[in-house]
Every structure is written in C-alpha cells, then in structure tokens.
Amino acid sequence: MAKTGSKDPLAPKASRPRAKASSTPRPAKKAPPATESAPAKSTQPPPSAPLSTSAWQIRDPAEFAANMVRVGTQAQKLIGAFVRHQRERALREPVDPLNFTGAFFELARGLAANPAALAKAQGELWHSYAELWERTARTMLGEKSEPLVAPRPGDKRFRDPDWQQLQVFDFIKQSYLLTANWLQETVANIEGLDAREKRRIEFFTKQFADAIAPSNFILTNPEVLRTTLSSNGENLINGLKNLLDDLERGGGDLAIRQSADSFRIGENIATAPGKVIFRNDLIELLQFSPTSPTVYRRPLLIFPPWINKYYILDLKPENSFIRWMVQQGYTVFVVSWVNPDAGLAHKTFSDYMHEGVFAALEAVHAATGERRVNAIGYCIGGTLLSAALAYMAASNDDRIAAAVFFAAQTDFSEAGDLSLFIDDTQLKALEQSMTAAGGVLKGSKMAATFNMLRANDLIWSFVISNYLLGKEPLPFDLLYWNADTTRMPAATHLFYLRRFYRDNALATGRLTLDNVRLDLSRITIPVYLQSAREDHIAPCRSIYKTTQLVGGPVRFILAGSGHIAGVVNPPAAQKYQYWTNSALPERFDNWMEGAEEHKGSWWPDLVAWLGPLSGDHVPARVPGDGGLRALGDAPGTYVKVKAQ
C-alpha cells in the first residue's frame, strides 16, 4: 500500500537528551520512561533581559506584607488540617498503598550492586554542570551561547518567556533538566533487576522528577514570582482558598478541580434526546430519538466503561458520537452504568455481564423486536464485551452479530503503565482501602491513578494555575467529565485487576465465568478494533494483540491522539488522522510498516464497515413506542449521581 506521513507514528517526536551532549541515541530497551527534554539544540534567544524591570517590583509593600501574613496564617491552618487527616487516614488505610518502599529498596539494591557505574554516572553529571556553568558565564559576558539542554517539544512548563530571557531562571531550568534526565538515565541503566520492578522504579522516578520541577515552586517559577510581586500576593491568597476548597470537596484528599463547574448534565452536556427504557440495579438503558425517517434494521448497543460515565460519547452536540451515529441512521442504545454504593459492593464481574450485557440485549429485543444487535465496547466496557462474547460463543448464543471495540484490551501482557499498579502488595493495600470505604473503590482513587500517568498535564499544571497563580479553571467539557468519577464494587474491581491485569487469564484461556471457560478464538463474528497511537491507558500494541486471538474477520485501525481524543474525534473537526492496513501480521510493528495514513476522523471508516452488517432499512423507532415504555428522559438518573 502507498504510505503517507510518518512510517511509524509511535516513534518519539524528539530523541531524549543525555546528561552530557551526545548525538548517539540509546538503544530502545535502555530508554527510561517519558523524559523531560530534547537534544540541546534550540532556537530560543539567549538570556538577556535584566531582573530589575517594573514587572518585578512590589506594587504596594504594605499590602504585600499584610497579605503574606494572611498567607502564613492560612498555611498553618492548612498544614494542621492536613496532618490530622493523614493521621486519621493512617488508622484506616495502608501507609504505602503503591508500595513505593519496595520499589526504592530494589533501586538501592541495584545501585549498591554496581558502585562503579554509579560513580561514572555522577562524574558525567558533574561534567555537565561544569559545562552549564561555563556557558552561563559566557552568556553573562555578552557572548551568544546555545543552551546545553532544552525542554522537549510539547513540554508546557517552561513556556513563559522569562525562562529563556532571564539568566537566573534559564540556569535553574537547565540545571533541573540536566538533573532530571540524569536521574532517569541512571535508573534506566541499572542492571540485575526484575524487568517489571525496573519499570515500576522508572515510573516512580519520573513522578519524582516531575514533582521537583522548578515550575512547581513559587521562588523558582518566574511567572508565579512575578505575579506574586505585582499582585501583592493576592494570587497566593486565592490559591490557598482554591486548595482548601479542593481538600474539603475531596473529604481530606486533594481533589484538584480541572474545569469550572459550569456544566449541567442534561442541560449543556449529555443532551442527546432520548428516553430511559429499562433499569435494574446496575444499568439504565437509554434509547435515543431518531433524526431520519428510516433506520438500519439492526440496533446498535453501546457499552461504555463503568470507570467513568457514558456521556464521554455525548459531551456537546458538535462532538457527540451518539448524535452522529443517530444521524447516520442507527437506532442507538447506550448503557448508563450505576454509580455503586456499599449496597452493591458484592456485585461481581459476572453480575456486570448478566445484569449489564445480557439484560441490555433482552431489553433491546423487547423494545425493537430485533433479536440480533451490533455492539460497541469502550475501554473496560470493551473488555467486558469480549468476555461476554466468549461466554456466548460457548453456548452458541448469536445475539451479537458484529462487535466494535474502542481502546479495549483483551491481552494484558503489554498493558502499559497501569499494570505497574498491580502487584500482590498493592492489591492487598487496595482491598484494605476498599473495605474501609464500605466495599467500594472511591472514584477519586481511580482518578488519581489515571492522573499520575500524565502528571505534568493533569496534576502539576493545575497546581501551578489553581494554587500558585490563584486562577479559576476554565470550563472544559472533557476535563469536567474526567473529574465526574464513579465508584466501583470491590468484588468486581479486584477480580478485574487480578484476573485480567495481573494474570492475563482471558488471553491465555484460563478465565472462567460461571464455570464456563472463555476462549476468545471461538468469537467468529466480524470485529472492528480501534486504537490510538498516544493512548497511555490502553496502548495500541496491546489492543493489536486481539487480532491474533479472535477467530473471525478483523479490521484494525490506529487513530491519532490518545485514549479520549482518539475516540471522540468528529469528522467536522478535521483533526488528527488514522492508519489502516488490511493485512494482520503477528506483530504490530509489521502492521505499521504497511499501513496507509488517512487525514481526519476514523468515524466514516467505522460506518463504512458497519453499514453492510446492519441490515436493510425500516421505519425509524421512537423511544417508548416499542415493547418497552419510557421510564423518563435521557440522560436518566444514574448518570447524575455524584461521588468522590
């Protein structure tokens, strides 16, 4: 096939800098996790502006002093409340739920086993520091000098001009980048460690490097320091208020507000018209109103993840996948999962299959008279759908005619950084935490884990904006949805983590539900697999493995962007791209070599595939006019239940 664009869209956008200048890339297997900076080549202007400018002067010294007293008083109260909360939390939850101690014990052991390598690495770091001092000195004397190290493209932490134009902050920035890169490179070079434990160490090392960035502190962030002086410290007072509000909202845990609270479910978000036509303990089933006189005979049933709420597929009219599919002539049904409380803590993964997948199939049949449907599963909803299909295949149940999977894994052998949170020590700590919470996993706990995967974008950028600069977050529908978390029953969640992530039992044929062994190769219906090249939750290489596991015809596509934007990409936006290849070799890299790039959204590709599998056209179905009466308007009641 003819190819356009990059041969491999997963290739790094810029090679990682070394502790000292070098143009020789490291072997891929030695590379640490995502790093901080790019090679020391930059078009940034040399530092030149002096510190003594009006922007750096205190506007009203008396007001500034008074505000600093207020900040100090509020900070003391905040620290006191935090200490009390941590003391109470230690009585009911594990002290080290992520097993940091075990990871860094292994790190210390690895470093001690090879002191010569550590000494060499330290020597390289000091050499880099000396070179940085030399370049900085030449710049101070008026010479032009390229920076020794620069932030990698896309690193938003150092966008303020003063990081480049003021010598002191340029030096702080480069010192940090050198140290962070050296730290991650040194850890990546440690030998003799278990491969999985080494990945955990690298991940936590990056978390540490992100946390100590100078952009996260008042005195070493030029924008924050400048704002503090020019506003007489009002930004810090506002920031402390935001921090206290977030702590109160999180019940003592820090629930960072990522979007303004300007969205109302059913009013300006999740507004696709429809009805609730079925309800049980676990689901509300929504049927959406048609926009065309005729529709495909075969209904379309969507199973979103229960980790978040269904309206990621119905944010705004212009980016609503649900609305778009209705416009293409489909009768669309969507499962809206309950936000479970302690009363549902006993619900199992099998219950989610029976009361979720199978109950929805029966309800669609009752509502439309159509026994067979096409189904979509998104993320964990797709994993459930794949397990249900294998279960159905064992009993020759053919009610699902074709299946589409959005960012959904069945083989967890390369499941990305989320798998680093799944070991016996962490699972035991998680079980203890859920028991203390009444048998459910708090939504805020899962949100914190996902945020750690993109800490600079989803944690530290808001720490700077909300707490240091004292700004209110802007309204952003995607981030509002991201923070609208749900709880999960302990029985379901622990089964999922242990049997899928830890044991990879589904892919290896060792998973049973209700004493039925699940064999993915018995799934012979047509399957469409969507993945995204920058997905940090369900990596595309992991999703590709499903092509080798199921027994029927498969179409695999790779979309641009990540876990959310890679899915929610309407054609009208004309954003990103996707890759296709009709061949399905064993390895993803070989598939990518023959893939063809297409500009824009992959949604039309899905419709082109799904249309011929959807039957002829029939008169449009109005929700509530079929075999099931309407129980209320979409988006229903389950989606509106808030929880931390």
Q: What is the pLDDT of residues 523-547, one digit of tens each?
A: 999 999 999 999 999 999 999 999 9
Residue 234 lies in a domain: no
Q: How far apart are CA 399 and CA 444, in angstroms?
A: 36
Same domain, residue pair 278 and 215 = no
Residue 493 lies in a domain: yes
Same domain, residue pair 207 and 324 = no
Same domain, residue pair 209 and 281 = no
Same domain, residue pair 203 and 278 = no
284 has a pLDDT exceeding 90:
yes
Given pLDDT bands bounded at 50, 70 and 90, which one contains residue 116? confident
Same domain, residue pair 401 and 498 = yes
pLDDT at residue number 414: 92
pLDDT at residue number 40: 41
What percent of the chain stands above pLDDT 90? 65
125 has a pLDDT exceeding 60:
yes
| CA trace torsion 152, 154, 158, 161 (10° rounding) | 110
Who has greater pLDDT, 44 or 354?
A: 354
- Domain endpoint, select from 156, 188, 219: 219
Region of poorest pLDDT, from 20-34, 164-178, 433-447:
20-34
DSSP string spanning 184-228? HHHHHT--SS-HHHHHHHHHHHHHHHHHT-GGGSGGG-HHHHHHH
444 has a pLDDT exceeding 90:
no
Residue 262 near residue 316 (C-beta atoms within 8 A): no
Range of the domain at 521: 274-640
pLDDT at residue number 559: 98
Determine the number of helices (DSSP H) and then strands (DSSP E) in the chain: 21, 19
Residue 229 lies in a domain: no
391 has a pLDDT exceeding 90:
yes
Residue 165 lies in a domain: yes
235 has a pLDDT exceeding 50:
yes
pLDDT at residue number 180: 94
Same domain, residue pair 212 and 288 = no
Residue 80 lies in a domain: no
pLDDT at residue number 90: 63
Residue 507 lies in a domain: yes
3-class DSSP string for 131-166 = HHHHHHHHHHCCCCCCCCCEECCCCHHHCCCHHHHC
CATH number, position 559: 3.40.50.1820
Q: Is 379 a catalytic residue?
A: yes
- Domain endpoint, select from 219, 244, 265: 219
Given pLDDT bands bounded at 50, 70 and 90, which one contains residue 54? low
pLDDT at residue number 53: 54
pLDDT at residue number 23: 36
Residue 312 near residue 568 (C-beta atoms within 8 A): yes
pLDDT at residue number 159: 94
498 has a pLDDT exceeding 90:
yes
pLDDT at residue number 89: 66
| Mean pLDDT calculated for residue range 586-592 | 97
Q: What is the pLDDT of residues 161-204, one digit of tens each?
A: 999 999 999 999 999 999 999 999 998 888 888 888 888 899 99
Q: What is the pLDDT of residues 75-101, one digit of tens each?
A: 877 777 777 766 666 666 666 677 777
Who has greater pLDDT, 550 or 44?
A: 550
Q: Which of 252-256, 260-264, 286-290 holds the top average pLDDT?
A: 286-290
What percent of the chain stands above pLDDT 70? 89
Who has greater pLDDT, 142 or 502?
A: 502
Same domain, residue pair 212 and 287 = no
Residue 348 near residue 274 (C-beta atoms within 8 A): no
pLDDT at residue number 104: 76
Whether cis (ω within 30° of 0) applies to the bond prior to 635 is: yes
The domain tally of the chain equals: 2
| Mean pLDDT calculated for residue range 604-632 | 97
| Angle separating helix axes 115-140 and 167-188, nearest 10 degrees | 160
Residue 10 lies in a domain: no
Same domain, residue pair 424 and 300 = yes
pLDDT at residue number 42: 39
19 has a pLDDT exceeding 70:
no
Give CA separation, 484 vs 250, 312, 380, in Å. 12, 11, 17
How much is the mean pLDDT over the chain? Answer: 88
Of 390, 370, 373, whose CA–CA distance to 335 is shortest? 373
Given pLDDT bands bounded at 50, 70 and 90, which one contains residue 640? very high
Same domain, residue pair 204 and 278 = no
pLDDT at residue number 24: 35
Region of poorest pLDDT, from 10-14, 228-232, 271-275:
10-14
Give CA separation, 587 vs 26, 30, 535, 548, in Å. 23, 21, 18, 9
Same domain, residue pair 442 and 303 = yes
Same domain, residue pair 444 and 315 = yes
| Mean pLDDT calculated for residue range 500-507 | 96
Residue 322 lies in a domain: yes
Q: How far apart are CA 288 and CA 292, in angstroms?
A: 12
Q: What is the pLDDT of residues 465-491, one digit of tens each?
A: 999 999 999 999 999 999 898 999 999
Indicate the length of the chain as a whole number. Answer: 644
Q: How far apart are CA 152 and CA 37, in angstroms?
A: 4
Q: Where are the alpha helices (DSSP H) in 22-147?
A: 61-92, 100-112, 115-140
Same domain, residue pair 311 and 403 = yes
Catalytic, out of 166, 190, 344, 379: 379
- Domain endpoint, select from 184, 219, 254: 219
Please give the model's pTM, rounded to 2 decimal places.
0.85
